[in-house]
Structure 1
C-alpha cells in the first residue's frame, strides 16, 4: 500500500468511534465542527444510520452537500437524511449549533468532501465552499413571505410518465412540511412527452430559483402552453432549450395563433435569459418577431435549428436588439435557398464584434448568396469556429471564402463540404480531384501565420473507405482534412 492510501490518525479515530454508534452520537456535542465532514463521510460509507441522523441534526455548516456522496436515486440515504431532519424540524427551540439551511442533493461539491477527508493541513475548505448556496429569497429579490427553516436543492430530470421512488418520496416529504421546507432546483430537464408528469413537479417547485431548463420531447402546442404558465414565473432563468414541438392536426389556425401568443408572451418575464435554443419547432415561421419582441435583455447565444423560417423572420432577427451581443449563433438546418442574402448580411454585421461561434450548416446557401455575405463575415474579428458544412459550393466560391477567412486571426476551426468539382456526373467522388483540390487549398492556406484546422466533408456524409486525410505540412500552420 502506498503512503497516500494510508488512513490518517483522524480517519482512524473516526473509524474507531463508529464501532460504537451510541458513543459516537453522545460525543457529537463535544466534537469540533472541523471533524463533522470526515465523520459524516465515514458513517455514510458504513451506513451507520443512527450516527448519520444525529450528524444531520448537529451539522455545523449552512449547507450539507449530501448529493455528492450518493449514488443516483439512493433512496435509503435520502430516507436517513430526511428522518434526521424530521427530528430537527420538530424541535420548538433550535439547538445552539444548528446552522443547516440547505440540503443539497445535487451531484456537486466533491471537493468539499475530499478536502475534509484527510488532506494536508492547509487544505481546509474555503469560505466559498463552506457557505450555503444563494437562498431562494435572495434569488427572487427577497419577497418569499415567511422564511422557511430548510431548503432542499436538487437538479431534476423527468423522463417517464410516473416519477421514480426517490423523487416521489422526496415530493411527499416536502409537501407534508411545506410551511417549513422549500424545494428548489437550478437545472430542470424534461424528456417525457407526458406534460402532466412535469406539472406535478412544477407545482411544488420554487420556480424563481430555476436557472436552466431543457424541454426535449415531442410536445404539441397545447402541452407547451401548459408548461408556459410555469415558465413565465422563472424570473432567474438564464438558459432555455426547447426541442421538438409539433402541430396537432386537430387545431384550427385561429386556435394555433392564440396558443403561440400565450407561449411567446411568457418571454417578457424572463429578464435574465442569456441562452436561447429552439430546435425543430412547428410555429416559428412568420412569428419569430413574437419571440424576439418579448425579450428584455441581449442574448449571449442564440440557436434556431431545423426549423422553418421566412425571409421576414430573418430580417426581424437581423434587426433585433437582442442579438447585438451574441457570442454564439447557430442557424443550422434553417433553409435560406430562396432568400435574399441581405438579411443574413445585416445579421452578420450586427454580431461581427462579438460572435465567436457561427454555425450555418445545411442552410442551402448557394454561391451568389455566399459572395454577398463574405464582406460581413470577414469583419467577424472574434470568430473562433465556423461551420459551413452541407452547403453546396464551387471551388471558386471556396477559394474566395478562404481569402476572407484568412484575415480572421482568432479563427481556429473551419468546416466545409467538398466543392462540387470533386464529383463526377453520377455523383461519385473522384480521388484524383480530391488530391488536386488538396494541393490547391494548401497553396491558398500557406500564407496563414496562426494555427488553424480546416475540415472538409463529402456530401451528404462520409462513406467507409472513401476518406482522405491531408497531412499537415511541416512548413505550414494550418491542417486541412477531408472526411
Structure 2
C-alpha cells in the first residue's frame, strides 16, 4: 500500500467503544497506526467517528510521512492536547482541505487551531467546522486567520453558537475572499426563542448579514438555522427565506 493516495476510515461497528480500552484493542490500534509510516504517497486522510483518535493523535501524526492535501477528522472526540499536536505537525502545513465537522470544540482554547490555519493560509481551499459548538469568544480568536486565505473557495460554519455582532465580524473578515464559491453560516442566536426558531427574527437578521457581503462583493452565502428536530430540515436564507416544512 505504499502508493496509496487516499485513506478513509469510518466507524461502522456500534460495539467498537465497548472494546476501545482493552489491551488487545490498544495493541491493534498502535500497530495499525505504525503501518501508516509505510504509506509514503498518502495525500488525503479521512477519519469519521473513529473512537481511538483522542488517545493516539500524536502517534498518528508522527507516523505520517508526506504532506497531506486533505485532513478530515469528523464526529469524534479530541482532547486539548490533540489541537496542539495538529498545530505543530509538519505534514499539515500545505493543506488544501480541512474538515473538523462534528468535533466538539466548545470547551477548548482555539489558539492552536488559529496557528494551524495561519500555517496553511496560502494553500487552504476548503474549511469545514460544522457542528463544533464554537462560541463567540472562540470565534474571535480565529478571526485574524480567517481573512488570509487567497485560495479559499468554501467555508462551513453551520450549527455553531454565534450572536449577531460576532457573526457580522466573521463576514467582514471573509468579505475580501474573492474566490469564495460556497459560504455556509449559521443564523445568529438572536433568531431563537427558547430554543425554537423565530420566523420574524430570522427574516429580520439574515438580510442584514447578507448586506455585509453585498457591500464588497456578490455573496455566495447561505445562512441557516440548526436542523429542525421534527422534519430534519433547516430554515435557510439565501436571496430569500426558505422555512423548514414545520414552519411553513
Q: TM-score, normalised by structure 1?
A: 0.47
Aligned pairs (5 A) from 1:307-318: 307-318=76-87
Distance (Å, rounded) in 1 between the aligned partners of 2:182 and 2:20: 45
Match of 1:448 in 2: 216
For residues 211-235 of structure 1, give each alpha carbon's deviation from its aligned partner in whole angstroms, at most 9, with x where no partner exists: xxxxxxxxxxxxxxxxxxxxxxx11
> 1:24-103 alignment to 2 at 5 Å?
none
Higher relative contact order (CA 8 A, sep 6+): 2
Separation in structure 2 between the aligned mates of residue 251 and residue 332 of structure 1, nearest angstrom:
22
CA RMSD across the alignment: 2.3
Task: Please say if 1:289 is aligned against 2:64.
Answer: no
Indicate which of 356, 380, 385 corresponds to 2:149.
Answer: 380
Aligned residue in 2 for 1:265: 34
Contact residue 240 and residue 276 of structure 1 kept, 8 A:
yes
Scaled by the length of structure 2, what TM-score is found? 0.89
d(CA) in 1 for partners of 2:20 and 2:204? 55
Matched, 1:366 2:135: yes
Q: Distance in 2 between matches of 1:458 and 1:326?
A: 29
- Distance in 2 separating the partners of 1:419 and 1:325: 32
* Residue 293 of structure 1: how far off its partner (Å): 0.5
- 1:165 is matched with none
Helix, strand or coil at the partner of 2:35 = helix
| 1:332 to 1:252, Cα distance in 2 relative to 1, 3 A | closer
Task: Output the CA distance in 2 between the equivalents of 1:386 and 1:330.
Answer: 10
Please, which runs of 5 or more residues in structure 2 have no aligned partner?
A: none
Separation of aligned partners in 2, 1:333 and 1:245 = 16
Q: 1:252 to 1:314 in 2, by over 3 A?
A: closer
For structure 1, list consecutive stretches of 5 or more residues without a partner in the other structure.
Answer: 1-233, 473-479
Deviation at 1:441, TM superposition (A): 1.9
| Cα deviation 1:328-380 (Å, max 9, x = unaligned) | 11000111111111111111111111010100011111110000110011112
Distance 1:245 1:438, change over 3 A: closer
* CA-CA distance at 1:260 after TM superposition: 1.6
**Which protein has the larger Cα radius of gyration, Structure 1 or Structure 2?**
1
In the alignment, structure 1 residue 434 sits paired with structure 2 residue 213: no
Q: Which moved more, 1:453-462 or 1:296-305?
A: 453-462
Cα distance between partner residues in 2 of 1:481 and 1:252: 46
Q: Residue 224 of structure 2 corresponds to which residue in structure 1? A: 457
